Copies of this chain bind each other. A is one copy, B any other.
Amino acid sequence: MASSILSDCSSCATSRLLPLRRALHPPPPRFRPSPAPAPSLTRPLSASPTPLPLLPRARRMAALSAAAAAASSADPATALADASAKIIDGKLVAKQIRDEVGVEIARMKEATGVVPGLAVILVGSRKDSQTYVRNKKKACEAVGIKSYEVNLPEDCSEYEVIKNIATFNEDPSVHGILVQLPLPRHMNDENILNAVSIEKDVDGFHPLNIGRLAMQGRDPFFVPCTPKGCMELLHRYGVEIKGKRAVVIGRSNIVGMPAALLLQKANATVSIVHSQTKNPEEITRQADIIIAAVGVANLVRGSWIKPGAAIIDVGINPVDDPSSPRGYRLVGDVCYEEASKVAGAITPVPGGVGPMTIAMLLSNTLESAKRIHNFK
């Protein structure tokens, strides 16, 4: 894996880049989590996982750092001997979060008898969507969340989808509802997503949640999973955010925009770079923290990066690779080979943000069940 990443920014990969102005339009499906489930670490954590709400953040971060250090020699990502940046290991953090969520669910079940429930609605038969839904189901089972699934045919009506959402809204054993995107073209995403009860919107995409995220003094019911995962990675690796310059590349409703709002809420000075930005390289080079979520393979080069910056690479882009059995491999929005020599810390692709999205979905579902049942 390491060697293929190292060749990502070579001339052949670069020549496939679209012109920046056109290329920066973010195609949402690329931000979905990697279809492959995150492989477990080859060595157990040296610090045993501890429940999320029981440890204060400082202690959790210290435990994570120790675990990361101990596990680093066994982690394939750290085999990059010439990279100076610290690897922000999403697989490791995601595993820790899943473990913490599992412990909390067991504690809740024992105290109240309640088991958190997540309902997923899948419309149509897209292969990638089916894979995502299967992975979510597996991840739920592993931590003790009960899965509910509805599969509707591609040609069903919007009304039918909304009727199913309404049933889950009323069902007290369901604490989170997720409509798998993309929906068939004849449906209006907005109508459908707005039908999800704000208290069960574990994806955090409802405009009321986004509004509360944007406003000072308000808190959303749920933070969208991928940007929440980005922030969790920064927090758990001890990256200071307050007072730092942050650049978010991409402004999608799913990642870029909520990530910028979260960084802003954490008191960073945030700039958003997008398809209409004239000098993205110059602006990005001022950032102490970069979140790249634009869906363009290797867009962010070494020259875009301030030495020592922390980089969270949300992009998961397939590039041609005849040597791979699948004929392609996955790379990020950041040219890892160049960036890892300049940055202070960086997420690899795969194995960075990808595994965090499902972990945060589990965390949001637990949070919802705890709130609904007033369990602390």
Contact = CB atoms under 8 A, between A and B. Distances in A.
Contact of A210 (B214, B217, B269, B278): B214
Task: Give this chain's copy count.
Answer: 2
Interface in A213-267: 213-218, 242-243, 245, 251-253, 257, 261, 264, 267
B270 A271 contact: yes
Given A211-B209, A212-B211, A215-B253, A264 B269 contact: no
A254 to B, nearest CB: 10
B276 A269 contact: yes
B214 A252 contact: no
Interface string A256-300: 010001001001111111101110000100000000000000000
Nearest to A218: B207
Contact of A216 (B212, B217, B243, B252): B252
Nearest to A190: B218
Contact of A214 (B211, B270, B276): B211
Contact of A211 (B210, B252, B269): B210
A207 B216 CA distance: 11
Contacts of A270: 271-272
A327 B276 CA distance: 48
A242 B210 contact: no
Contacts of A211: 206-214
Nearest to A216: B253
Given A209-B211, A212-B207, A214-B211, A278 B269 contact: yes
Contact of A278 (B209, B243, B261): B243
A31 to B, nearest CB: 13
A56 B326 CA distance: 53
Contacts of A214: 207, 210-211, 213-214, 257, 261
A283 B269 contact: yes
Contacts of A242: 276
A277 B269 contact: yes
Given A207-B211, A211-B207, A264-B251, A272 B274 contact: no
Nearest to A286: B283
- Which of A242, A269, A273 has the most chain B CB atoms inside 10 A of its CB? A269
Contacts of A261: 214
A286 to B, nearest CB: 8
A30 to B, nearest CB: 16
A247 to B, nearest CB: 9
Contacts of A267: 274, 276
A286 B188 CA distance: 40
A185 to B, nearest CB: 15
Contacts of A213: 211, 214
A209 B283 CA distance: 30
A308 to B, nearest CB: 15
A209 B273 CA distance: 24
Contacts of A216: 251-253, 257
Contacts of A278: 243, 269
24 contacts: A207-B208, A207-B212, A207-B215, A207-B218, A208-B208, A209-B211, A210-B210, A210-B215, A211-B212, A214-B214, A215-B253, A216-B253, A242-B276, A243-B277, A243-B278, A264-B272, A267-B274, A267-B276, A269-B272, A269-B274, A269-B283, A270-B271, A270-B272, A271-B271
In order of increasing CB-CB distance, the 7 nearest A-B pairs are A211-B211, A207-B211, A210-B211, A271-B271, A267-B276, A269-B277, A243-B276
Interface of A: 190, 206-218, 242-243, 245, 251-253, 257, 261, 264, 267-274, 276-278, 283
